[in-house]
Amino acid sequence: MSEAAILGGEAEAPAETSADGPAPKRIVVAYGFWIFLLSDIIMFSAFFATYAVLSGETAGGPSGRDLFDLHNVAIETACLLLSSFTCGLAAIGARAHNGLMYYGGMAATCVLGLGFLAIEIREFVGLVAQGAGPTRSAFLSAFFTLVGCHGVHVTLGILWLLTMIAQVFAKGYRADILRRVLCFALFWHTLDIIWVAIFTVVYLFGAGA
């Protein structure tokens, strides 16, 4: 589009740069939410630092190599990756006012997110049942804090997702609702980014190295 403008092909002057006036509200809102997400990532980085420091402190208890099941982790990862994709489809659907894409994408995201949570909860329950709960060692405390905090974020994300389905259903594709959908999509993709760090640092390092 900018090329066309430079070449003089089309006479449209969208307010994209600051020289052309204030940015559209959509971009301002996304910027503000992005700053929140970065602060969330910084909070997670503190948990990651804690985990990295404490990952060897098993107090004679089980280590990651004894506990982690990479098959589960691979399925969890697949769930979150696919849900990021379907969430993207939903975001496109919302912008295009395409009900099939929006509701279908959101529903698929919800199902995949719930699948992820179910596997994670099963893993946690299994760990506690075999005496490897968060009170067993500093390593397990850090593990449950880090991975559990991500799980809480996914849970909140699913609640937000259901809210956005209801809001679009009740109020339609209004501009303010679309901005909320955009923020939700950013939130969900960020959870996936944090999960990439978790499956690398916690599970692959823990089980392999």
Partner 1 sequence: MSSMDDYQPLRGDDHAPGDEPVGRHEIAEGVVGYLVGLGLAILLTAVSFFIAGTSLVWHPSIPIALVVLAVAQIGVHLVFFLHITTGPDNVNNILALAFGVLIVFLIIVGSLWIMYNLSQNMMPMAMPTG
> Which residue from 91, 109, 111, 110 is spatially nearest to 101, judged by alpha carbons?
91
3-state secondary structure of 101: helix
> Which residue from 123, 109, 103, 195 is spatially nearest to 158, judged by alpha carbons?
109
> Which residue from 2, 52, 20 is spatially nearest to 200, judged by alpha carbons?
52
Footprint (CB under 8 A) of partner 1, residues 74-103: 74, 77, 81-82, 84-85, 88-89, 92, 95-101
How far lies 175's CA from each of 32, 53, 97, 143, in Å?
17, 46, 11, 41
Q: Kindly tell me which of 15 and 121 has the beta carbon lying closer to partner 1.
A: 15
Q: Is 49 in the site for partner 1 (CB under 8 A)?
A: yes
For the bound state, the minimum distance from the C-beta of residue 90 to partner 1, rounded and expressed in Å, comes to 10
Q: Is 53 in the site for partner 1 (CB under 8 A)?
A: yes
How far lies 207's CA from each of 70, 128, 163, in Å?
8, 19, 38
Number of residues in contact with partner 1, rule: CB under 8 A?
A: 61
Q: Kindly tell me which of 114 and 201 has the beta carbon lying closer to partner 1.
A: 201
Residue 114 CA to residue 69 CA, distance in Å, equals 19
Residue 34 CA to residue 7 CA, distance in Å, equals 34
Footprint (CB under 8 A) of partner 1, residues 139-178: 175
- Contact stretch for partner 1 (CB under 8 A) within 26-34, 107-115, 151-159, 161-169: 26-34
- Contacts with partner 1 by CB under 8 A lie at 12, 14-18, 23-27, 30-31, 34-35, 38-39, 41-42, 45-46, 48-50, 52-53, 59-60, 70, 74, 77, 81-82, 84-85, 88-89, 92, 95-101, 175, 186, 189-190, 192-193, 196-197, 199-201, 204-205, 207-209
